[in-house]
Amino acid sequence: MREASFIKQNKENWLEFEKYLYHDHKVSAERLSELFVQLNNDLAYTQTFYPKSRVNDYLNALTSNAYLKVVKPKTAYGSVLDFWKHDVPKITYKYRKYIYFTFILFFLMFGIGMISSLYEDGFIRSILGDRYVNLTEENIAHGDPAAIYTNQTGLGDIGSFLGITINNIKVGLLMYIMGITLGIGTIKVLFSNCIMLGSFLTMFYKYDVLAESMRAIWIHGAMEIFGMVIEASAGLLLGIGWLFPGSLTRKQAFMSKGKESLMIVISTIPFTIAAGLMEGFVTQLYNDMPLWLALTIIFGTLAVISYYYLVYPIRYNNRQNLTFEAAFAE
């Protein structure tokens, strides 16, 4: 059958299913089952005869969305793979403005930390503490400005990794839980971390070793800090759900936003563990690492986490909600 004839023959069924998926059009259970079976048959047909056509892309999106709405709810959140592939991108897309807003807050607060450290001599010590600053100054004098990241604890690499990872997870959970204070506590914890980061980098800048130290810091920091911002956005979502319930009761809004925001926080844990692995095993090698390798690790890890939280949700949403009109627009 020619592709145009195939589309003309089945178009009405697809549009009817679209109405159910995207516009909550009422369909009887019998009719829905019939449409769902036909949709899968049509997809199988296009994959065989028109694998690179727009109709195949359209039916693939329609079928995937149908599975999520018709089949998957019967098994709660489904498999672990579904959680990462479908649930998280759906939620992060839905609340993407919270993530964008939190990134704006992060850069503003980070900038405050840097500017304050540049123009106020005692600011760095007041934030990082005399012991930390003195130790870093000694490391700089010995030609190893980021020696604080080398294993000096006596616990070994595994001990360092576990300690770092547990601490980072605790900070992330604290930032999230503090969302119950209407987001004020979350902003406070984020502000504290941003000021510390800004002060830390400015100290290296003042000693003219910023480039060298940046290589050590961002080998693990790309994922760690990005994850921190995502966790903070989840905390703000938790607080806003309580503050602005919309048409729901405050309890309903809090429970709904709480479940969705918790899923966002859970999604950051693998990245936090990965950052801990990098800090515990890789960062300490920064002095012996070629510049190209360090940059590959930094930009590679940043690209992965950026894609998952900023790009993939948009692509996922566009693919899942592909309509007939959009698929065949000239």
pTM over 0.85: no
pLDDT at 159: 65
List pLDDT tens digits, range 178-234. Answer: 999 989 999 999 999 999 999 999 999 999 998 888 888 899 999 999 999 999 999
Residue 154 has pLDDT above 80, yes or no: no
Return the higher-pLDDT residue of 70 and 23.
23
CB atoms within 10 A of CB 52: 7
- Mean pLDDT across the chain, nearest whole number? 85
pLDDT at 291: 87
List pLDDT tens digits, range 262-301. Answer: 999 999 999 999 998 988 888 888 878 888 999 999 999 9
Task: With beta carbons less than 8 A apart as the criterion, state whether 146 and 217 touch.
Answer: yes
Q: Which two tokens stand for residue 228?
A: 């921190």
d(CA 99, CA 234): 8
Give the model's confidence band at 69: pLDDT under 50 very low, under 70 low, under 90 confident, else very high: low
Give the model's confidence band at 62: pLDDT under 50 very low, under 70 low, under 90 confident, else very high: confident
Query: Any long-range contacts for 131-139 (C-beta under 8 Å, 24+ apart)?
Result: 133/203, 136/203, 137/207
d(CA 136, CA 130): 10
pLDDT at 322: 65
In the predicted model, what is the mean pLDDT of residues 91-115?
95
Q: pLDDT above 70 covers what percent of the chain?
A: 90
> Closest Cα partner for 261 from 165, 169, 168, 180?
180
Q: Which two tokens stand for residue 157?
A: 């690499």
Return the higher-pLDDT residue of 254 and 304.
304
List pLDDT tens digits, range 294-320. Answer: 999 999 999 999 999 999 999 888 776
Give the model's confidence band at 75: pLDDT under 50 very low, under 70 low, under 90 confident, else very high: very low
In the predicted model, what is the mean pLDDT of residues 34-41?
85
d(CA 63, CA 88): 19
Return the higher-pLDDT residue of 81 and 153.
81
pLDDT at 188: 95
In the predicted model, what is the mean pLDDT of residues 48-77?
71
Say how far residue 278 (Cα) sits from the centre of its chain. Answer: 18
Give the model's confidence band at 327: pLDDT under 50 very low, under 70 low, under 90 confident, else very high: low
Q: What is the domain partition of the chain in residue ranges?
A: 3-75, 88-318
